[in-house]
Structure 1
Amino acid sequence: MIRIGAVNIDTSHPLGFGEVMEKDDRARYVGVYNDSFRPDSEVEGFIRRFGLEKRCNTLEELAAMCDIGFIHGCDWDDHLRCAMPFIEQGKPVFIDKPLVGNLADCRRVEQLVKDGAVILGASSARYAYEVQQFLALPEEERGEVVNVFGTAGVDEFNYGVHIAEAIGGILGQGAQSVRYMGRGEAGGKYSESYFVQYENGKSAVFNTFTGTWQPFVLTIMTTKTTHHFRMDSNRLYEALMCEICNYMEGKPNLLAGPDALLESVKVMLAATASRAQGGVPVALDALTDAMPAYDGRAFCRSYGAAAGRLY
């Protein structure tokens, strides 16, 4: 049984992941550390709901009692602080999406991994069963991928990164530049479109949507035909948890490496930088700390203010 330590139960993910874990005997939450906006009453409700052994007073205490840490907080600027005690104790850590939200933290992750840290992540959309089924088709049957179009909705980055990761799951690494294409608006809500050029000549377009939940949909054009599917949101956590458990059990798995996860973050950073520059292409390797980043603390404040009770 894989022993998981939960850090900051901000979103619905700890609840959804826990429900998936209840269906088999591969993993369970055993402890929790919480210093985010969920009140003590909800933390106690989470403990009762999934039969946790204890609430820990420090991150170090939680890291010592589990096999892997799950960083669930929605302040992505705080993710690495929360991850460090697990890394320092030689434990792997899963960081929920978005992995990080600025270039400096991307560099920190790269250095931590170079120094031996095991950092897993991040979006369940990357591992969706529909993505797996497409990739399992022989290329001679499905054709070579030329372009991927994807959609996601609720907000620009917290949800938008889902579709960037899903596209990365299809096309692999090699995103070269991103160009902001424009915005459509209606009823106070809006969708923005971005073009991603890959080094190998392939491309992608993704649409974010702010103000309404939108499904994760991919349209994949290949040298032979066009494939189209909508991801089953009811099975996304199951697909992700299966791969994490496979990794922890030493089995073959589909988990992406940190470089691939960070490329998706950099795609989003290049996207917002291109928008700020009026739509000029922004190369991923030309990103700088002076360019726009995503403010995790501000997002967490707004998310917490609007969050309903979960436990």
Structure 2
Amino acid sequence: MKSLRIGLVDLDTSHPGSFVPLIRGLGHEVTGVFDSGTVYPPGYAETFAREHQIEHACESLEELVGRVDAVFIHSCNWDLHVHHAQPFVDAGKAVFIDKPMTGNVGDLQKMIGWAKQGAVITGGSALRYCNEVREWKERKIAAEEWVYGLVGCAVDEFNYGVHAYTMLHGLLGPGIESVRYLGENVQRQIELTWKDGRQGTVSIGKTAGYLPFYATLVTQKQVDYISVDNSRLYQALLETVLPYLAGEAPAPLPFEELAEAEMAAIAAKLSVERGGKPVRLNEIPSDYAGYDGKAFSKQYKALIFPSEK
């Protein structure tokens, strides 16, 4: 496999540090980092680069563009993702956008447009590619065998909740037509309906303790329960996406289909605001604000630096 020079944009979360050794283990190198300062103070990029033996801590996106073949964008403020990806797309570099890829339809449409124009772009939650999802899908359950599914996780309704949407989407495949808010008891329950009539629910939001990523899947002949092994998530993700980013494999999923998980979450928020009325994905207004990335990043920073609240 072609060895990529990989850059990291924004070091807000645990993902950049976790990805570095796995990227190297798969035969690639991390050659530069850039941090825009959303969470960490000035100078953090230099500290991160030194701790992870990365040669260049860049002062701008443009500087990083010249040092890489591909980039992973990890900004916890998902409203920055399009802005941060643009220079790399313009330069013909491969782009991975971490979850949530964005919280509004306009930015998703921008990314879909890039992909249609030939950009090498992918991203999203690792739950789509986890071993447990792949193994269940290998059984090739026919649509007419389907009864119902439930997928859930804890923490919050979008930054983490998108994992549940993605896992359900990974298990059932593309083709989500509409989303409906069912109500809530501790967590929020959202029903997704596919174009072929299959349905499943995600249960998302804060709980008193951490919950694993889980699924209960009911077919006409069997009930399966899946609990995801988090220790294998990133490896499975990188093994799937890096060949595509290197130009040696097709896209794991067409970007328009990949974006359905975020679109479903955005539709769910709109359904809540409309009192539980179903919302079709193709009818979400393009100017609908969706989830506020800047507001989330402030909350995220306050968790890391509570003294600065």
Fold shared per TM-score above 0.5: yes
Match of 1:95 in 2: 97
Q: Does 1:279 align with 2:280?
A: no
Structure 2 residue identity aligned to 1:262: A
CA distance in 1, matches of 2:270, 2:158: 13
Contact 1:150 1:167 in 2 (8 A): yes
How far, CA to CA, are the matches of 2:257 and 2:27 in structure 1? 26
2:135 maps to amino acid: Q
Q: What is the DSSP-based 3-state SS (H/G/I as helix, E as strand, rest coil) of the residue aligned with 1:137?
A: coil
* Residue deviations 1:267-300 (CA, integer Å, cap 9, x gap): 0011011111111111111111454510001111
1:213-292 residue pairs with structure 2 within 5 A?
A: 213-252=210-249, 255-289=252-286, 291=288
* RMSD after superposition: 2.1
Once the two structures are overlaid, the 10-residue window that deviates more, 300-309 or 244-253, is: 244-253
Displacement, 1:45? 2.8
Residue pair 1:145, 1:171 contacting (<8 A) in 2 also: no
Q: Which region of structure 1 is more displaced relative to structure 2, 145-154 or 8-17?
A: 145-154
Quote the residue 2:67 is aligned against: 65
Measured after TM superposition, the shift of residue 50 of structure 1 is 2.0
Query: Is the 8 Å Cα contact of residues 60 and 85 (structure 1) preserved in structure 2?
Result: yes
What is the aligned counterpart of 2:296 among 296, 299, 305? Answer: 299
In 2, are the aligned partners of 1:93 and 1:120 still within 8 Å (CA)? yes
> Do residues 195 (structure 1) and 191 (structure 2) align?
yes
Letter in 2 for 1:299: F
Question: Please, which of 45, 53, 56 is the counterpart of residue 54 of structure 1?
Answer: 56
Residues 68, 146 of structure 1: alpha-carbon distance in 2 compared, 3 angstrom cutoff: farther
Contact 1:194/1:207 (<8 A) preserved: yes
Alignment of 1:175 onto 2:155? no
Q: In structure 1, what is the equivalent of residue 137 of structure 2?
A: 135
Note if 1:154 corresponds to 2:155.
Answer: yes
Pairwise CA distance, 1:260? 1.7
For the residues of structure 2 that align with 1:139 and 1:282, how far apart are their CA atoms? 27
Equivalent of 2:200 in 190, 200, 204: 204
TM-score normalized by structure 1?
Answer: 0.91
In 2: Cα distance, 1:296 partner to 1:183 partner = 23
Superposed structure 1 runs of 4+ greater than 3 Å apart: 142-146, 248-254, 289-292
| Aligned positions of 1:74-89 closer than 5 A | 74-89=76-91
- Residue 15 of structure 2: which of 8, 13, 16 is its match? 13
Count of aligned residue pairs for this structure pair: 302
Question: Scaled by the length of structure 2, what TM-score is found?
Answer: 0.91
Rounded Cα–Cα distance in structure 1 between residues aligned with 2:144 and 2:192: 20
1:127–1:254 CA contact under 8 A, matched in 2? no
AA at the equivalent of 1:199: K
Residue type at the aligned position of 2:201: V
- Cα distance per residue 1:52-91 (max 9 Å; x no partner): 1111122122111111011001111100100011101101
Amino acid at match of 1:131: V
Q: What's the secondary structure of 2:170's corresponding residue?
A: helix
> Following the alignment from structure 1 to structure 2, what is the Cα–Cα distance between the partners of residues 192 and 88?
39
Paired AA for residue 272 in structure 2: R
What are the residue-to-residue correspondences of 1:28-43 with 2, within 5 Å?
A: 28-36=29-37, 37-43=39-45
- Amino acid in the other structure paired with 1:134: W
